[in-house]
Structure 1
Amino acid sequence: MSSAQTFETPVSPVTITSGNGPIVLGMPHTGTWLPEEILNKLNTNGKKLADTDWHIDQLYTGLLPDVTIVKANFHRYVIDANRDPSGISLYPGQNTTGLCPLTDFDNQPIYQDGYEPDEAEIENRRLNFHVPYHAALQTELERVRDLHGAAILYDCHSIRSTIPFLFDGLLPEFNIGTNNGETCDGVIEKSVWSICNNAAEYSTVLNARFKGGWTTRHYGQPHNNIHAIQMELAQRTHLKAETLPFDYDKESAAILRPYLKNILMKLTELVETKQLGS
């Protein structure tokens, strides 16, 4: 395959909503679009797109005025925008999926035999999708930091509650990741933990199975006044069922959304009242 390949994209790889507040929402996994030439290589299992962060964009819509959102429109089976572009694993010794996944979260193949991407195709996908997403995220974080003196990247994720290949047992509803406190000022971690831990309906863990993906670790630079925190939600918090068709549950989401709003409002307050260290 030629290294000069480009993919036909009916829409931009990234949708950017530029606000003037201090929070940037990253959404690397809510997109469901795949170029036809990639979609046609997937097998029946791959075409289910089961590993999507279903309805995360809908879940966060309208929670915070003037927020900036950077959303990948492409599916993670094209390329995973939350993986190190070098392909290095974020969780050495633990099961995970790669930069261009060959299997789903249940360790089942997603490609037809012989149609898996080679190194040249992976590089093309990186250039066409991974690079534009992160260029947009970098630009927006720097713009917001210039406006407020600090910016907070809140990386939005969700995952099925039970995936034996990736973790044991039932996943807590709130999974907060700061790479063991390295990616943000401690007051950010403490504030998010407090709101989640006081939510009687849900269980919460900090830096457990999900410590923050490449996005959180890459952009979280408190010394440069860019802070990052990841929120991985168990999908039972806002889906009717964690199987096809993965329908959004308005009633469940209505219980969850006030907590998410409180988190985002608190993070805004931390920046606006200059409670973050330099």
Structure 2
Amino acid sequence: MPVDVIAGSSPLILTFSHAGTEIPQSIHARLNATGCCLTDTAWHVDRLYRSVVQDVTVVRANYHRYVCDVNRDPDGKSLYPGRFTTGFVPLTTLDGDPIWHNPPGTKEAATWRSAFHAPYHAAISAQIARVRAKHGFAILYDCDATRSHIPKLFEHTLPDFSIGTFMGTTCDHKITAQIASICMKAPNYTSVVNGRFTGGWSTRRHGNPKLGVHALQMDLAQSTYLTEERDPWLYDEAKAAPLRKVLADVLGYLQDWRPA
């Protein structure tokens, strides 16, 4: 299955675009050694968020972003014009290194879009509709995580918390302000709103505050919860524990938020 869905009864929907590691065997055989390392996975981010709060809806893409990046524009338009980024079927890592010895062509990419990208966003749309019917609004929180130092993307070290709302267009500004306040007050962490990451396709595609759908992306630096940001990408319980407390405050606020 390209996507897993767990339906909760609260207004909050957690989406996981980059946690999946599945790759069909026929596609995996075409990746080169760099591609087979799956370096750009949001390693263990689903584990990090597990049971932080209860009764949330979860939508998780199961296939790896190298097969089809469900957090990219399926028409191939760059999310960050003029800056380096990868496409909805990536040809390189986020470091710019080629990942294929036999890259997909245009027709194959369109097939993969239908097989992997479309079902994920159809699932998100269905859960937003269900939650809105129950509560009158929905909050979509996209859970992502990236290595803290990727010079091809950003010459400096990425903040620990990167909050993206596409420059304030996808979420009520009061929600953004409160989430930013929680992150800024958390000791020993850094944070930014609409910095290098301003929200991926999931945030931009589904967020529409005028229709009662508030969407934001939280991109965490993997250094905050992994032992090291390299293979074997080990989850660090000691590092994760204080981070999960901050995330509990963030998600708890979102669960309790109601429109004015």
Shorter-chain TM range is over 0.9
Query: Percent identity at matched positions?
Result: 48
CA distance in 1, matches of 2:15, 2:247: 14
The one-letter code sitting in structure 2 at the alignment partner of 1:63 is: V
Give the C-alpha shift of residue 187 in structure 1. Answer: 1.1
Give the C-alpha shift of residue 168 in structure 1. Answer: 1.1
Aligned ranges 1:187-266 → 2 under 5 Å? 187-266=174-253
Give the C-alpha shift of residue 27 in structure 1. Answer: 0.2
The one-letter code sitting in structure 2 at the alignment partner of 1:171 is: L
CA distance in 1, matches of 2:155, 2:170: 26
One of 147, 161, 172 as aligned partner of 2:159: 172
SS class of match (1:268) = helix
Give the C-alpha shift of residue 169 in structure 1. Answer: 1.3
SS class of match (1:54) = coil
One of 76, 79, 88 as aligned partner of 1:87: 76
CA distance in 1, matches of 2:210, 2:108: 36
Q: Matched residue pairs, number?
A: 260
The superposition leaves residues 160-197 of structure 1 with CA deviations (integer Å, 9 ceiling, x where unpaired) of 00000000111110000011110011111011001001
Query: Which blocks of at least 5 consecutive residues in structure 1 are unaligned?
Result: 1-11
CA distance in 2, matches of 1:19, 1:192: 22
Give the C-alpha shift of residue 142 in structure 1. Answer: 1.1
The one-letter code sitting in structure 2 at the alignment partner of 1:235 is: Q
SS class of match (1:176) = strand
SS class of match (2:163) = strand
Aligned ranges 1:1-278 → 2 under 5 Å? 12-112=1-101, 115-271=102-258, 274-275=259-260
The one-letter code sitting in structure 2 at the alignment partner of 1:71 is: R
CA distance in 2, matches of 1:186, 1:124: 38
Question: What TM-score, normalized by structure 2, do the two folds share?
Answer: 0.99
CA distance in 2, matches of 1:180, 1:45: 34
SS class of match (1:45) = helix
The one-letter code sitting in structure 1 at the alignment partner of 2:171 is: C
Query: Which blocks of at least 5 consecutive residues in structure 2 are unaligned?
Result: none
SS class of match (1:202) = coil
CA distance in 1, matches of 2:123, 2:167: 26
Task: Indicate the RMSD between aligned Cα atoms, in angstroms.
Answer: 0.7
SS class of match (2:215) = strand
CA distance in 2, matches of 1:70, 1:77: 19
CA distance in 2, matches of 1:145, 1:237: 33
The superposition leaves residues 200-241 of structure 1 with CA deviations (integer Å, 9 ceiling, x where unpaired) of 110011101000011101111001101101000000011000
CA distance in 1, matches of 2:82, 2:256: 38
